Amino acid sequence: MNPTRQLHHAGQSLWLDSINAAMLTNGTLAGYIDELDLTGLTSNPTILGRAMAAGTGYDGSLRAHLAAGCREPEQLVLSVALEDITAAADLFRPAWEGSGGVDGYVSIEVPPGLADDADASIEVARRLHRQADRANVLVKIPGTPAGLVAMEQLVTEGIGINVTLLFSDTHYRQTAEAYLRALERRGRGDAPLDVPCVASVFVSRWDVAADPQLPAQLRGRLGLAVAGQVYSSYRSLLTTERWAALAAAGARPQRGLWASTATKDPNLPDTYYVDHLAAADTINTMPEQTLLAYADHGGPVQPMEADDAAAARFLADVAGHGIDIDALAQSLQRRGARAFEADWSTLLAAISVKTAALDPR
C-alpha cells in the first residue's frame, strides 16, 4: 500500500495546497485524485495570481474578462481564480458525494487586506460563495478577531468556511467556540446544522521562528507539540454535552487542518511534518512537492495520539528557554497576515502591468 493510501486508511484526508490551470487541463490533478488519494484542495489569491501574472497560460481568460468589462485588478484576479476553483470542485465532487459531505472540498480565500475588516470579509465571502455555486467550495477567512466575527456570521448563514492563519491552541479554541455559537444560532432558527467548516493550524512556521532560540534537542518539535495540543482540544470538545446536542441535531465536527507542513529546515526529512501529523479525522494540506515526496518515500504511518500532557510538558520546556507561546502565536498570525497582504499588493501591481499589455486601451 502506498504511503498516501496508508494515511487515508488512518483516517486523515490529503489535500493539495496548490492550483493552476495547467494541472486542471493536463490531467495532473485528476491523476493525483486517482493515484494518491487526494480528496481536497486549498488555494489563496496569491497562489493563483502568481500563475496568472507569469507566462501566458491565463492570457485567454484574462482577455475574456477584460472584454466583458472586468478591469479592476482585484476583481479580475478573483473572477479568473473562480474558474479554476469551480473546475477543481467539480473534480472533487465524487469525493464530496462519497463521503457524505465530509470531504472533497476546495477553498478560495478572501483578499488578505480584509483580515481586520469583518463587514467587508462577510460581503466578499457571500459574493464568492454565490459566484462559485458549488456545495463543496469553502471560503477561507483568517482567524483574526475580525475574521472570527465574519466566520461566525457566515456559518450562521450556511456558508462553508475554512478558518486560516491559526497558530495556537488558544486560536483553535476561539475558532471552535465561534463555530459552536454559529451552529446554535442556526439551531434556534430551525436551519440545518450540516455547515462545513475546517480550522487550519499552521505548523512549520513555529519552528522557523523558535528554533534559533532553542537547544538542539528541542528544535523542530514546537510546531508538532502545538498541533498535538490542538488535536487534544479537538478530541475533548467532541466529548462535551454541548457538542453532543449539536451532533444529535445534525452538526458535523469542525475538522482540524494541518497547514504549512512543508519542511523548511534542510536538516529534517522532506516528509517530516506529514510523517508526524497522521491524526484521524484531520486534514493535511501540502504543496505539490511535499505530496510527491510523501507518495515516494513517506511513512510508515504512526497515528498521532491526543496526548495533551505530553504536549504541555514540551511547551513548558520551551517556555523555560524564554519563549512565550501565546505572544509568539499572536506575532506569527500578525506577520502571516501582513505577508499575505504584501504579496497581494505585489500581485495586483503585476496584474495591472499584465492587463495593460493584453488590453492597452
Residues catalogued as catalytic: 140
Phi, then psi, of 155 in degrees rounded to 5 = -65, -40
131 touches 81 (CB < 8 A): no
Query: How far apart (Å, rounded) are the C-alpha atoms in residues 277 and 296?
Result: 17
Query: How far apart (Å, rounded) are the C-alpha atoms in residues 74 and 24?
Result: 23
The total of other beta-carbon atoms located within 10 Å of residue 354's CB is 20
The total of other beta-carbon atoms located within 10 Å of residue 324's CB is 11
- Select from 82, 91, 26 the least CA-distant residue to 49: 82
CA 176, distance to chain mean position in Å, is 15
Query: How far apart (Å, rounded) are the C-alpha atoms in residues 175 and 183?
Result: 13
Query: How far apart (Å, rounded) are the C-alpha atoms in residues 112 and 166?
Result: 15
78 touches 47 (CB < 8 A): no
CA distances from 288 to 107, 193, 294 (A): 16, 33, 10
Residue 105 cell numbers, joined: 472540498
Query: How far apart (Å, rounded) are the C-alpha atoms in residues 108 and 84?
Result: 10
The position carrying cell 504512526 is: 302
Residue 5 cell numbers, joined: 493510501
Residues 6+ apart with CB under 8 A from 229: 169, 308, 311, 312, 315
Q: CA angle, corner 66, sides to 109 and 78, nearest 5? A: 5
The position carrying cell 470538545 is: 237
Cis peptide upstream of residue 300 (ω within 30 degrees of 0): yes
Query: How far apart (Å, rounded) are the C-alpha atoms in residues 332 and 89?
Result: 30
